[in-house]
Chain A
């Protein structure tokens, strides 16, 4: 018995890839800035908007791993899950992994937003742009999964 490939709108595929690439770009910039001490983020460093304060706070590491590196890892893994082949795959495992991945991303974003407001008392604009991209990816996956039915076994003609 064969299964049909899912009919995913092309716009969904394009938007997903663009968001992944945008997130990957910002996460790469934040990672380079983390390891290159001579580089400073293009961001105000006084008042509530203060990238430096956030990226050097104790919340900038999770289990000893820099959050910037975790962000980069997140988008490196996300990219293949948002390719046309992955979207159209009839495998329930691919859908489950993609949904779980964006769900985990949202949980991490929620923790980091809490840390910014309640731990560091400052907002990092670059980090916020990654949070927004992660949120949009979550919405994209949620509504695509709701709109497009899961693949059914192909009917014999």
Chain B
């Protein structure tokens, strides 16, 4: 056993300094490893943080634009696609004549004593609505369906109702800039305002002619339509001074979230609720027009769906 007071031999001193050096090197290596690990952790945090911040930023953009869109204007009106126009113009007669079609709850009323509305010797159908209006949006599908049995539309628009009204962004067609040609009748459609907010209101669009303005002011009010909410309400349809219709015949909510083409495709499918409602109303409109055209064309006016719908019209 060595005496602890005895001084170390040179060999002992050399061994101690070697192990001290080894420990120091180990400590340095561990410190370097810790430094590298911390640096790697920092790099991973920066990378993952960037990913999360990017995801949050994308969400923020979608939500902000979504709120701005829903808070105001509807979709900008564009020309209806060729496919959409073709689908609406070629609804099979079997769909119109389906026994499951639903009659409208508010069929046209009689305009007793009104002067017949004609143009060029043909009965004239007048429509007054606006692009922002959700009830007009719903009713246009039936209008286009019914009128397409008597003639051809060109220049129809496709748009949506307002993003901030009831049933926001209801997909629909627009009569603004559209023309209708038929050997049986004349159709004039006014969209008095667009769906684009401008200075706190919707931008003006079509201005009614003086004569059409007088018709609207006279027949879209009491005694033809009663109730405070019904005075001058849109959509308003005048069937050549014989019948008039006001408001939507079915709920615009049924079109929520659908594309224009999906609505048109659903209309051609008699099993869908949209087809039952839209074509039920289209049949009543068709029956009203048939009374103006002396039941021409007979292939349309003698269809079972149209003859059944005629019972919904006032005698």
Contact A145 to B258, CB < 8 A, known contacts A106-B55, A117-B65, A138-B55: no
CB-based contact A146/B256 at 8 Å: no
With a cutoff of 8 Å between Cβ atoms, the chain A residues found around residue B63 in the complex are 113, 117
Q: Nearest CB to that of B67 among chain A residues?
A: A117
Instruction: Give the distance to chain B from A101, nearest Cβ to Cβ, in Å.
Output: 15
From known contacts A114-B62, A117-B63, A149-B37, infer whether A143 and B48 are also in contact, taking CB-CB under 8 Å.
yes
What residues of A have a CB within 8 angstroms of the CB of B40 in the complex? Answer: 149
Q: Is B65 a contact partner of A122 (Cβ separation < 8 A)? A: no
Interface residues of chain B: helix, strand, loop or mixed (majority): helix
- Which one, A22-30, A32-40, A51-59, A65-73, is touching chain B? A51-59
Which of the residues B45, B253, B258 comes within 8 Å of A147, measured between beta carbons?
B45
The B-contacting residues of A in range 77-136, CB under 8 angstroms, are: 106, 110, 113-122, 135
CA distance A147 to B256 in the complex (A): 45
The answer to the question of A14 belonging to the interface, with a C-beta cut-off of 8 Å to chain B, is no
The answer to whether A48 has its CB under 8 Å from any CB of chain B is: yes
* Shortest CB distance A38–B (Å): 18
Residue-wise interface mask of B (34-47) relative to A, using a CB-CB cutoff of 8 A (1 in contact, 0 not): 00010011001101
Complex CA distance for A70 and B256, rounded to whole angstroms: 22
The CA-CA distance from A100 to B199 in the complex, in Å, is: 47
- Which of A57, A115, A117 is within 8 Å of B70, CB to CB? A117
Residues of A within 8 A of B48 (CB): 142-143, 145-146
Determine which of B37, B51, B59, B256 lies in contact with A142 in the assembled complex, contact meaning CB atoms within 8 Å. Answer: B51
Give, as a whole number of angstroms, the nearest-CB distance from A134 to chain B: 11
Say how far B48's CB is from chain A's closest CB, in angstroms.
Answer: 4
Which residues of chain B from 257 to 272 have any CB-CB distance to chain A below 8 Å in the complex?
A: 257-259, 262
Interface positions of A (Cβ within 8 A of B): 48, 53-54, 57-59, 106, 110, 113-122, 135, 138-139, 142-143, 145-147, 149
Interchain Cβ contacts under 8 Å between A and B, 9 examples? A53-B256, A54-B257, A57-B257, A110-B59, A117-B62, A121-B69, A121-B256, A145-B44, A149-B41
